[in-house]
Amino acid sequence: MSRGYTKIGEMSTADLGFSLDDVRGRSLDEVARTGARRMLKVAMGEQVAEFLGRNRYEHTDAAHV
């Protein structure tokens, strides 16, 4: 992929923080929007962590000086 993007591997509903029981009875549009929103949140969090070289709330050694 160009522009430095990496392909995200497969994700399950559990990876996104909900189960099939949570989506039962909801419209496909609502399920798709919720899944897309959560997938973007996970992907952006991973990209930010990679850019910063640390996870959220994790300090680098330089921050302890």
pLDDT tens-place string over residues 16-44: 777 888 888 999 899 889 888 988 988 88
Expressed as residue numbers, the domain containing 34 is 9-55
The pLDDT of residue 35 is: 83
In a domain, 51, yes or no: yes
Q: What is the mean pLDDT of the segment spanning 30-59?
A: 82
The pLDDT of residue 61 is: 65
The pLDDT of residue 29 is: 93
Using alpha carbons, list the distances in angstroms from residue 32 to 9, 16, 24, 26, 65.
18, 12, 13, 10, 45
Provide the number of structural domains found in the chain. 1
The pLDDT of residue 1 is: 42
In a domain, 4, yes or no: no
The pLDDT of residue 56 is: 65
In a domain, 18, yes or no: yes
Angle at 38 between CA 37 and CA 41, to 5 degrees: 90
How far from chain centre, in Å, is Cα 38? Answer: 6
In a domain, 32, yes or no: yes
